[in-house]
Chains A and B, each alone.
Chain A
């Protein structure tokens, strides 16, 4: 499977994606927030800096909001990483969330993690699991993560091969299981080890995720019984109606009903905790965004200078966050963020 970008799909253009949502003539997200008697979404002090190390990935998942894949060559340069480090050195943000693509494929990945570790930041790596087995040079990633006390967050959309492979590609489930066992073997996900291994569930289809706790206990029971796998927590995440997931919604005739579901499930409680409030997202080229989704929609932060080299924490604190109809994905039901439910 190719990325939308490599297959020259019109949907690879962010404005085409937003147009597809606008054509549905939903109540605009900002109006829905206002109707619920809430103020517009405002930034809190930045506690997480999420850095996208590039769109390159060894997988081409059907729902990928990054439109990542082996055919994407955009990756963060060492110079931009150095600018991130300068910012982080002077910032109160304690957590650095590394994402991609497969962040480990960036040739400067290990160096960057070592530098972040020296800054005593809490490091999260969004590891797609299969990368650990993809090439000999990645086989020791579990030990490397352990050395730097990295929190590993990994997608596993289901505890059955059928549903996982339908979303993430043929054979991904069995490789993911093997990778999880390797992470367990060095202590990840094991009680008392202090090494966090969290899984991400996101639905394989045009459905919303249900109760995170219920799914977590089902996953724990099944993964333990069938594969002797342990993990800490399950983050239940709603699929955002952008990029390749949007393509799936359009092609399967589910776009309208999916968006209606999101709008109907709008939860004012979730609005308070959307992740753009305490997170800044850095794109592979250093551009700053309110969140990873706005990054993929090419909506940089609304400040005079929107690049990591001109990072101005004070100005960012007064910015207005750019919301649009994709934001309904963050506020449906129990809400959704990179850390799962928010309400």
Chain B
């Protein structure tokens, strides 16, 4: 069955240079450096990546960082808590706009 997202396509990510090598090289170089142990550990960065993957709803990233965080020793409970952080921020970002709605409504109404 044909689908928009095929898990096998993730393997081809490294081949995007075919349509533009220079920027692809720069991106992968940057990406590699971002995920290195530094002020934050590679382990912490992996969990952030999982949370962000859910915010951007990228199925490739969700698969990749589910494996990566499990490999790095996080528990399923910790993975779920990370996704709740995503949800809280996403939900909160909508909800916080209600102050605008309230302000406008109060202005309009008697």
To the question of whether A and B form a pair in one complex, the answer is yes
Number of A interface residues, CB 8 Å?
Answer: 16
Contact A214 B43 (CB under 8 A): yes
* Residues of A with C-beta under 8 A to B73: 158, 210, 214-215, 218
Chain B contacts of A211 at CB under 8 A? 42, 72
A259, chain B: closest CB distance, angstroms: 13
Work out how many contacts link A and B, with CB atoms closer than 8 A. Answer: 30
Q: Are A163 and B71 in contact (CB under 8 A)?
A: no
A208 within 8 A of B: yes
Dominant secondary structure of chain A at its interface with chain B: loop
Q: Which residue of A lies closest to B63 (CB)?
A: A257
Give the docked Cα–Cα distance between A203 and B71 (Å): 7
Binary interface profile of A, 203-234, with partner B (CB < 8 Å = 1, else 0)? 10101111100110010000000000000000
Q: Which residues of chain A are within 8 angstroms of B67 by Cβ–Cβ distance?
A: 207
Q: Are A162 and B41 in contact (CB under 8 A)?
A: no
Question: Could you tell me the distance between the alpha carbons of A162 and B41 in the complex, rounded to whole angstroms?
Answer: 25
Interface residues of B in 39-94 (CB under 8 A from A): 41-43, 67-68, 70-73, 75-76
A247 to B7, CA, bound (A): 23
Considering the chains assembled together, what is the distance between the CA atoms of A26 and B42 in angstroms? 30
- How far apart are A268's CB and chain B's nearest CB, in angstroms? 19
Of the candidates A163, A209, A210, the one whose C-beta lies within 8 Å of that of B75 is A163
Q: Which residues of B contact A207 (CB under 8 A)?
A: 67, 70-71
What chain A residues lie within 8 Å of B43 (beta carbons)? 214
Complex-state Cα separation, A163 to B43, whole angstroms: 19
Q: How far apart sit A203 and B75, CA to CA, in the bound complex (Å)?
A: 12
Min C-beta distance of A60 to chain B, whole Å: 23
CA distance A158 to B77 in the complex (A): 14
**A160 x B75 contact (CB < 8 A):** yes
Given contacts A160-B75, A162-B75, A163-B75, contact A214 B41 (CB under 8 A): yes
Q: Which residue of A lies closest to B46 (CB)?
A: A210
B-contacting residues, A173-209, CB 8 Å:
203, 205, 207-209
Q: List 15 A-B contacts (CB under 8 A).
A: A158-B73, A158-B75, A163-B75, A209-B71, A210-B68, A210-B71, A210-B72, A214-B41, A214-B42, A214-B72, A214-B73, A215-B73, A218-B73, A257-B7, A260-B11
